[in-house]
């Protein structure tokens, strides 16, 4: 882009959609083995058989969702007998909502907003699949949002046992779990029928991060907008965060910062100025899905001077803030634990007997900044 100053009707973005989170790149690098494993699992559906189940496990921002979407794209082009449904479990945290999304994909419209039981939903889904000789593959993205109150077990059991009450139904499941520790536990009655192929998505190394960001910048920005040195700088920040989505968001925000300065190029200062917002991106998106009570618990914990606090003290402050009782408090703690926002399983012996200690898994200032950003 010629000149030093960006005119009011000019932009640094050649293809702005490349910096959106739902963009699926044509060339998906560094995940060949994971794509092969996913394709192996869905291959039986091409021959009219029930697909193998899978679970994609790895830290946030390691390509799990993109890999599944790439496989679903392939199936939509080459397997007319297969219907794929991608469900965002952050937005759909109950069995009923998840089956409503499946119903919408199959039937073409949402089920009635009231008066329809879960059994009726399941009946309609199974009936459609059998009558149309279709095989269903459901991706449960961020399944960890279903772990509290064992909703994940209910969903998996209903999907994978559907053929017993509705003969001829063929359903496979791909679960997507963002977890740094690669740990998950399902109810034995579910584990015995789920039996997933585990597909691990490790963090990208620095060279891989740099290559992904370079390709995205080359296609998404006009020539000369970002230098090799600045891409390296963004790559350093991204590797530190361990989440490729941070790097992509950082490219977008840095370009917007440069545009605000009416500059035709992104500087290292642009990157520095927006890094904090990008760094807590995943945390912010998770907190945004919580209700006001759950956010109140996080705020209370973040404002405590000690990293570990007694559950009773947190409840006292929670009750004063929200007016809610202990049963609701206990349920919210379980959910925050399942989302790996807190640790609440430490037990101590004291003069008042056994009590739980609660600890934030994130930096207190990051949590407060994420909560504050939601109020803006």
Query: Domain extents for the chain?
Result: 32-200, 204-279, 291-364
Mean pLDDT of 47-55: 97
Beta carbons of 96 and 118 less than 8 angstroms apart: yes
pLDDT per position as a tens digit, 3-17: 478 988 899 999 999
- Of all residues in the chain, what percent carry a pLDDT higher than 90? 73
CATH of domain 291-364: 1.10.10.10
Task: Give the separation between CA 335 and CA 341, rounded to whole angstroms.
Answer: 9
**Quick one: pLDDT band at residue 2, thresholds 50, 70, 90?**
very low
What pLDDT does residue 338 have? 82
What pLDDT does residue 3 have? 46
pLDDT higher than 70, residue 348: no
Least confident range of 42-46, 227-231, 293-297, 345-349: 345-349
Name which residue leads in pLDDT, 114 or 199: 199
What pLDDT does residue 169 have? 97
Torsion of CA 156, 67, 108, 289, to 10 degrees: 70
Predicted TM-score (pTM) of the model is 0.88
Residue 263: Cβ within 10 Å count: 17
End-to-end CA gap in the chain: 34
The CATH class, in words, for 32-200 is alpha beta
What pLDDT does residue 372 have? 86
CATH architecture of 204-279: Orthogonal Bundle (1.10)
Residues 6+ away with beta carbon under 8 Å from 345: 337, 356
**Torsion angles phi and psi, residue 172, rounded to 5:** -120, 155
Triad 339, 341, 344: Cα angle to 5°: 95
Residue with tokens 């992904």: 212
pLDDT higher than 70, residue 54: yes
Residue 342: Cβ within 10 Å count: 21
Task: Give the separation between CA 99 and CA 79, rounded to whole angstroms.
Answer: 23
pLDDT higher than 80, residue 159: yes
Triad 185, 146, 249: Cα angle to 5°: 105
- Of all residues in the chain, what percent carry a pLDDT higher than 70? 95
pLDDT higher than 90, residue 135: yes
Work out the mean pLDDT of the chain and round it to a whole number.
92
pLDDT per position as a tens digit, 66-77: 999 999 999 999
The two tokens of residue 253 are 């925000």
215 in helix, strand or coil? helix
Mean pLDDT of 147-157: 91
């Amino acid at each position: 882009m010629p000149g030093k100053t960006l005119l009011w009707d000019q932009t640094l973005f050649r293809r702005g959609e490349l910096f959106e989170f739902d963009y699926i790149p044509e060339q998906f690098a560094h995940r060949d083995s994971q794509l092969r494993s996913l394709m192996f699992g869905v291959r039986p559906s091409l021959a009219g058989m029930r697909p193998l189940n899978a679970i994609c496990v790895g830290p946030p921002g390691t390509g799990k969702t993109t890999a599944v979407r790439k496989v679903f794209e392939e199936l939509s082009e080459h397997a007319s007998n297969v219907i794929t449904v991608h469900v965002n479990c952050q937005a759909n945290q109950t069995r009923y909502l998840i089956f409503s999304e499946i119903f919408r994909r199959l039937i073409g419209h949402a089920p009635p907003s009231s008066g329809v039981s879960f059994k009726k939903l399941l009946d309609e889904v199974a009936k459609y699949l059998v009558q149309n000789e279709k095989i269903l593959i459901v991706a449960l993205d961020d399944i960890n949002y279903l772990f509290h109150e064992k909703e994940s077990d209910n969903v998996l059991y209903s999907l994978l046992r559907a053929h017993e009450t509705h003969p001829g139904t063929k359903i496979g499941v791909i679960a997507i779990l963002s977890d740094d520790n690669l740990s998950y536990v399902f109810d034995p009655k579910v584990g015995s029928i789920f039996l997933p192929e585990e597909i691990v998505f490790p963090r990208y190394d620095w060279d891989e991060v740099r290559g992904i960001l370079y390709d995205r910048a080359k296609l998404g920005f006009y020539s000369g907008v970002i230098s090799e040195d600045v891409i390296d700088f963004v790559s350093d920040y991204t590797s530190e965060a361990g989440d490729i989505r941070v790097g992509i968001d950082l490219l977008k925000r840095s370009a917007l910062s440069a545009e605000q300065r009416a500059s035709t190029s992104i500087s290292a200062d642009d990157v520095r100025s927006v890094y904090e917002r990008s760094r807590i991106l995943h945390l912010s998106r998770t907190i945004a899905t919580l209700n006001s009570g759950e956010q109140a618990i996080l705020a209370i914990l973040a404002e405590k001077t000690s990293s570990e606090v007694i559950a009773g003290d947190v409840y006292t402050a929670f009750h004063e803030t929200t007016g809610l009782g202990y049963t609701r408090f206990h349920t919210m703690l379980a959910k925050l634990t399942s989302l790996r926002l807190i640790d609440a399983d430490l037990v101590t012996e004291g003069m008042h007997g056994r009590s739980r200690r609660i600890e934030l898994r994130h930096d207190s200032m990051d949590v407060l900044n994420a909560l504050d950003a939601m109020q803006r």
